[in-house]
């Protein structure tokens, strides 16, 4: 009974939760800003390293780049499997659901401000074993994402140079650049590179989007004779193809786990919600318009990544414009994984916010190790769409769907027995989110694994650590 009363202190509204409202924290109530600040991971300081420099406007810029990164380059190809209508509905549906779960995660984090990442939040629910398990998942997720950015960068180098060197060398050069950028220490200082990266990827994507509409036929289609465009309103894919496409679209908007470390470095963490909503509306509009136009004009002949879809000349232009973004996207993901490990090692230590040798050695060392792991992964699975789909299925399905719904149920589980009808319905809505996440986890992983197996057997994927051109520039 006492627990139920305490948990009811959390509630402001079923649909309009407010993290600044009084809330439970390990049996106590956080109602004062000063009390909340005591539990923040990074303290506001003038004598040491000040991580708390991100305003909500800067958070918008960071969140935009977290979302519009390598994921947007895989969506047009996913529409071929799902069709224009099915794919469009998938984009809208995932965008809405991922927006909601991002808000759930951040609300829970602000009720428990000592949580730096999703990993700490899972520790609240499932103890040390759950925390360590999710910690491994978090690292794997961002190594996958970093690997996709490194692979995309090596494809760009090949396209721009017409395969001027071994692809392994290009991917290693990309890794060096990624580690250098990801070593920028705070999210506040990462804002401007990320803003440049957002402008870069939009310039490249818009070049392709406009360019494909001026062609008589897709660049990858046969040069003469009849051909099948492969555009469908509603497609009927195999289970493996459908789940791979669904996972690709899902991960493109599942940036919520990446928002949390940024919120920990905001001047006012409670301001995150307006940034999340603004960003996700923009992202949904960009994804829908760009992917539908490219799919309408390229159909089955969409390149992977999609920047190569407008012909040889515009391919070089698009990759040239998007090259900074590809590097910065991979750096963003590497920074996110490295910051988690960095805080885990130095938390509650004076070195966390001090310019000491231990501080810098830990930060740079973690960046280097994760960057090299990402490079190895990118060379082991050298096809862009499948790398993204694997990350979405194995890691982001739990982190962006299952876990956020569990956080909500942890704080509002009493709705099931003592809530009003609307609250009971809302409880089961979050159970449904868990089921959707479980389906994506199991089905998406199985489907993507089958797709990778088929691609290796048909020669669509080259060998691991292959020097061959991975951009389709050289036949």
Strand spans (E) along 313-372: none
**What is the pLDDT, as a whole number, of residue 395?**
86
How far apart are the C-alpha atoms of 170 and 158, rounded to whole Å? Answer: 8
pLDDT band at 3 (very low <50, low <70, confident <90, very high): very low
Burial class of residue 197, CB neighbours in 10 A (0-12, 13-18, 19+): buried
DSSP letter at 392 equals: I
Q: How many CB atoms lie within 10 A of CB 256?
A: 28
Tokens of 178: 């990624």
Strand-pairing partners, residue 266, are 54
Tally Cβ neighbours within 10 Å of residue 128. 8
CA 388 to CA 390: how far, in whole Å? 5
- Residue 134 pairs in a beta bridge with none
Range with lowest mean pLDDT among 248-257, 300-309, 320-329: 300-309
Quick one: tokens of 315?
């391919």
Helices (H) and strands (E) in the chain, counts: 19, 2
Select the more confidently predicted residue: 311 or 208.
208
Tell me which architecture the domain covering 57-458 has in CATH.
Up-down Bundle (1.20)
Name the pairing type of β-strands 28-30 and 23-25: antiparallel
Q: What is the DSSP letter of 43?
A: P
Counting residues of the chain whose pLDDT is more than 70, the rounded percentage is 88
Task: Answer yes or no: is pLDDT of 15 > 70.
Answer: no
Residue 337: per-residue pLDDT: 95
CA distance 337 to 116: 12
Q: Token digits for 71?
A: 């994921």
- State the Cα–Cα distance between residues 225 and 144, nearest whole angstrom: 40
Contact criterion met (CB below 8 Å) for 14 and 422: yes
Distance (Å, rounded) from C-alpha 448 to C-alpha 388?
Answer: 10
Neighbours of 224 (CB within 10 A): 7
* pLDDT at residue 39 is higher than 60: yes
Tell me the H-state helices in 10-117. 33-39, 56-67, 75-82, 84-111
In terms of pLDDT, which residue wins out, 234 or 21? 234
Q: Could you give the count of Cα atoms lying within 13 Å of 126 in the half-sphere of its Cβ?
A: 15
- Overall average pLDDT of the 47-70 stretch: 87
Least reliable range by pLDDT among 195-204, 223-232, 270-279: 223-232
Find which of 25-29, 117-121, 210-214 is predicted with most confidence, using mean pLDDT: 117-121
Task: In whole angstroms, give the CA distance from residue 244 to residue 417.
Answer: 38
Mean pLDDT check: name the lowest of 16-25, 135-144, 158-167, 328-337: 16-25
Q: What is the DSSP string of 299-347?
A: GGG--SSGGGTT-HHHHHHHHHHHHHHHHHHHHHHHHHHHHHHHHHHHT
The DSSP 8-state label assigned to residue 27 in this structure reads T
Q: What angle is formed at CA 392 by the lines to CA 207 and CA 399, rounded to 5 degrees?
A: 125
Please give the Cα distance from 178 to 382 (Å, whole number).
18
Phi/psi zone of residue 348: left (φ > 0), alpha (ψ -120 to 50 degrees), beta?
Answer: left
* pLDDT attached to residue 378: 80
Q: What is the mean pLDDT of residues 443-469?
A: 76
Mean pLDDT of the residues in the chain: 84
pLDDT interval class at 338 (50, 70, 90): very high
Q: What is the pLDDT of residue 428?
A: 95
208 HSE (CA, 13 A, CB side):
37
Residue 401's Cα: distance from chain center in Å? 13
pLDDT in tens, 419-451: 889 999 999 999 999 999 999 889 888 887 887
Interval 380-404 mean pLDDT: 79
Give the Cα separation of 319 and 157 in Å (integer).
8
Closest by Cα among 25, 72, 352, 75 to 205: 72
CA angle, 411 then 414 then 415, to 5°: 100
Per-residue pLDDT band for 332 (boundaries 50, 70, 90) equals: very high
Per-residue pLDDT band at 177 (split at 50, 70, 90): very high
**Length of the chain counted residue by residue:** 475
Domain borders along the chain are 57-458
If we measure between CA atoms, which residue out of 338, 322, 402 comes closest to residue 143? 338
Cβ within 8 Å of residue 47, ≥6 positions away: none
| Cross-strand partners of 150 | none
Rounded CA-CA distance 405/437 in Å is: 10
Distance CA 307, CA 347 (A): 41
Q: What is the mean pLDDT of residues 210-219?
A: 85
- Which are the contacts of 376, defined by CB distance < 8 A and separation ≥ 6? none
**Residue 24, strand partner residues:** 29
Predicted pLDDT of residue 131: 94
Cα separation, 60 vs 274, whole angstroms: 9
SS3 call for 17:
coil
Q: Is the pLDDT of residue 463 over 70?
A: no
Is residue 10 classed as helix, strand or coil in its secondary structure? coil
Preceding omega of 55 cis (within 30 degrees of 0):
no
Q: Of 22-36, 146-160, 163-177, give the lowest mean pLDDT range.
A: 22-36
């Amino acid at each position: 009974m006492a627990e139920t009363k305490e948990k009811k202190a959390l509630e402001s509204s079923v649909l309009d939760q407010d993290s600044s409202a009084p809330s439970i924290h390990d049996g106590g109530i956080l109602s004062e800003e000063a009390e909340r600040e005591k539990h923040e991971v990074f303290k506001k300081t003038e004598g040491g390293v000040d991580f708390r420099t991100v305003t909500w406007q800067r958070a918008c810029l960071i969140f935009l780049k977290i979302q519009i990164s390598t994921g947007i380059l895989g969506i047009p190809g996913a529409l071929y499997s799902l069709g224009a209508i099915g794919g469009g509905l998938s984009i809208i549906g995932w965008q809405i659901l991922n927006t909601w779960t991002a808000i759930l995660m951040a609300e829970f984090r602000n009720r428990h401000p000592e949580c730096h990442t999703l990993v700490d939040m899972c520790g609240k629910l499932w103890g040390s074993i759950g925390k360590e398990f999710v910690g491994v998942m978090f690292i794997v997720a961002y190594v996958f994402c970093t690997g996709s950015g490194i692979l995309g960068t090596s494809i760009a180098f090949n396209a721009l140079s017409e395969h001027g060197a071994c692809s392994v060398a290009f991917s290693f050069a990309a890794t060096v650049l990624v580690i250098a950028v990801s070593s920028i220490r705070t999210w506040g200082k990462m804002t401007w590179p990320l803003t440049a990266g957002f402008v870069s990827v939009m310039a490249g994507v818009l070049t392709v989007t406009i360019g494909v509409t001026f062609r008589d036929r897709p660049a990858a289609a046969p040069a003469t004779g009849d051909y099948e465009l492969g555009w469908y309103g509603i497609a009927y894919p195999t289970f493996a193809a459908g789940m791979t496409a669904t996972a690709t679209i899902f991960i493109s908007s599942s940036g919520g786990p990446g928002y949390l470390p940024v919120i920990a470095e905001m001047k006012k963490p409670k301001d995150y919600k307006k940034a999340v909503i603004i960003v996700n509306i923009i992202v949904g509009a960009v994804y829908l318009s760009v992917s539908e136009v490219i799919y309408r004009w390229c159909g089955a002949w969409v390149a992977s990544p999609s920047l190569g879809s407008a012909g040889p000349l515009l391919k070089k232009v698009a990759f040239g414009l998007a090259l900074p973004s590809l590097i910065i996207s991979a750096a963003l993901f590497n920074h996110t994984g490295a910051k988690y490990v960095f805080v885990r090692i130095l938390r509650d230590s004076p070195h966390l916010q001090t310019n000491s040798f231990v501080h810098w050695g830990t930060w740079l060392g973690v960046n280097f190790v994760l960057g090299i792991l990402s490079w190895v992964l990118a060379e082991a699975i050298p096809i862009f769409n499948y790398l993204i789909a694997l990350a979405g299925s194995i890691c982001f399905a739990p982190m962006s769907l299952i876990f956020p719904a569990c956080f909500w149920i942890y704080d509002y589980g009493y709705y099931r027995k003592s809530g009003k009808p609307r609250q009971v319905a809302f409880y089961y809505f979050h159970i449904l989110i868990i089921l959707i996440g479980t389906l994506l986890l199991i089905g998406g992983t199985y489907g993507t694994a089958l797709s990778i197996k088929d691609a290796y057997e048909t020669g669509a994927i080259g060998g691991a650590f292959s020097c061959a051109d991975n951009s389709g520039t050289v036949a």
